Amino acid sequence: MNTPRAVKGMNDILPHEVGRWHRLEREFRKTVESYGFGEIRTPLVEPTELFTRSIGEATDIVEKEMYTFADKGEKSLTLRPEGTASCARAYLEHTIHAREAVTRWYYMGPMYRRERPAKGRYRQFHQAGCEVYGDHGPFVDAEVIDMVVSFLERVGVKDIRVLVNSLGGPETRARYRTALLDYLAPQREKLSADSQRRLETNPLRILDSKAPEDQAIAEGAPSILDFLSEEDRKHFDLLVGTLESLGTPFEIERRLVRGLDYYSRTLFEIQGRGGELGAQNALAGGGRYDAMIEELGGPSIPAFGFALGIERLLLAMSEEAPATEDRVVILAANDRARTEATVLARALRLADHRVETDLRPTASLKSQLRRADRSGARLVLILGEDELARGVVQWKRLDADKKGEVSRDALLGQLRALLDD
């Protein structure tokens, strides 16, 4: 009989791997909370309409990547492919704009896209992201981009490229679209089949096509930066100036467009080159989406945000040598000692120590010690027959050549020193 397997492109995160996730999540919280972001947790499932209306009908996500199902034949629901639409929905549903002029939210969690699985590209993946509502200026864009760069430095992701562009507002984009179509239409036959279709639906996306025949053509396309309206140009220049003042490394990439339809003005993407990262090198992306809240039926409220892909960050980070942990393992020689071990372990845990016990009734002390040695713990406490009779515990450091004996009464008081010495 076949054993059940996980859904393709959806992965387990096992306990020996989860430490790296915890560290990233902890650092992310610490960083964004220091910038005034508060955490929001939204459902994994939303009405399908939320995504079609906000992400855009002519995007890869909505066209072919959503996990959509009918809820018992009633409403159409979708597993969230990203976090921005859900946050916007929650922002409106709880009329947050009536409570505060500026809102800073962050989130972490799984997202779902039915893409072709590859290294760094999964069908369930995890994002950490932030959204700011109520500030239309370029300064907040720069501050948030700089925050993402600082975070990446903090967690040891080196060798990144920060790409910045502007898509302008609706008026700029309409003018640019005409110019782009004028440039692309005569070359229609040379474009990939996908891009020929996009000529009708979403010509801007042709600029970031991966097909070599499209790339050669995109290279010579007019730049949207030459079409910016006065207001859009001012926003972009102030963004660039603020990033320069902050000393944030960045490059202007006039062909950057990204795969979601809701962006206007500032757009950015951070690419990695290090570690085991392959072709899926976009670590983070985001931008301004000033029209979304209104398009979802709310007031006109500007917004800016980004999301990082956690799996890709982990691939980009160099693997640090696993250090021994501040953890204790208690070994026991016989049944009486095993009972004692549960009592002792509970007392140590109440004092905030991390304690494991090896309670297997038939395992010898030797095999228990071998297992403890491999566990990454720092200290073992041994309850042998003789030690039990004398009211003492033997201790042994697993990361250093140190051992000794301590009385049961003194153990709690001395444990910290035994772990740290």
Binding site for ligand HAM (CB under 6 A): 82-84, 113, 115, 120-122, 125, 127, 129, 131, 259-260, 282-287, 289, 305-307, 309, 311-312
Question: Which residue number, 295 or 325, has a Cβ lying nearer to ligand HAM?
Answer: 295
State how far the Cα of 304 lies from the Cα of 76, in Å rounded to an integer: 28
Query: Quick one: which H or E segment has residue 355?
Result: strand 354-357
How far apart are CB 259 and ligand HAM at their closest, in Å?
Answer: 6
How far apart are CB 391 and ligand HAM at their closest, in Å?
Answer: 56
State how far the Cα of 316 lies from the Cα of 277, in Å rounded to an integer: 5
Q: Long-range contacts of range 389-393, CB-CB < 8 Å, 24 or more positions apart?
A: 393/344
How far apart are CB 283 and ligand HAM at their closest, in Å?
Answer: 5
Q: Which residues of 135-158 are buried (b: 16+ CB within 10 A; e: fewer)?
A: beebebbbbbbbbbbebbeebebe
State how far the Cα of 96 lies from the Cα of 88, in Å rounded to an integer: 10
Question: Which residue number, 168 or 285, has a Cβ lying nearer to ligand HAM?
Answer: 285
State how far the Cα of 12 lies from the Cα of 21, in Å rounded to an integer: 12
State how far the Cα of 227 lies from the Cα of 378, in Å rounded to an integer: 62
How far apart are CB 241 and ligand HAM at their closest, in Å?
Answer: 22
Task: Take residue 409 and report the two structure tokens written for it.
Answer: 């009464």
Question: Which residue number, 125 or 250, has a Cβ lying nearer to ligand HAM?
Answer: 125
| CA quadruple 43, 46, 51, 53: dihedral sign | negative
How far apart are CB 237 and ligand HAM at their closest, in Å?
Answer: 22
Question: Which residue number, 59 or 172, has a Cβ lying nearer to ligand HAM?
Answer: 59
Question: Which residue number, 128 or 217, has a Cβ lying nearer to ligand HAM?
Answer: 128
How far apart are CB 250 and ligand HAM at their closest, in Å?
Answer: 16
How far apart are CB 135 and ligand HAM at their closest, in Å?
Answer: 14
Q: How many CA atoms lie within 13 A of 94 on its CB side?
A: 11
The residue sitting closest to ligand HAM, measured at its beta carbon, is 309
DSSP state, 3?
P
Question: Which residue number, 283 or 337, has a Cβ lying nearer to ligand HAM?
Answer: 283
Question: Which residue number, 242 or 266, has a Cβ lying nearer to ligand HAM?
Answer: 266
- Residue the block writes with tokens 């845990």: 349
Question: Which residue number, 59 or 248, has a Cβ lying nearer to ligand HAM?
Answer: 59
How far apart are CB 123 and ligand HAM at their closest, in Å?
Answer: 7
State how far the Cα of 70 lies from the Cα of 77, in Å rounded to an integer: 6
How far apart are CB 214 and ligand HAM at their closest, in Å?
Answer: 19
Helix %, strand %, coil % of the chain (to 5): 45, 20, 35
Question: Which residue number, 236 or 304, has a Cβ lying nearer to ligand HAM?
Answer: 304
Report residue 81 CA to chain centroid gap: 13
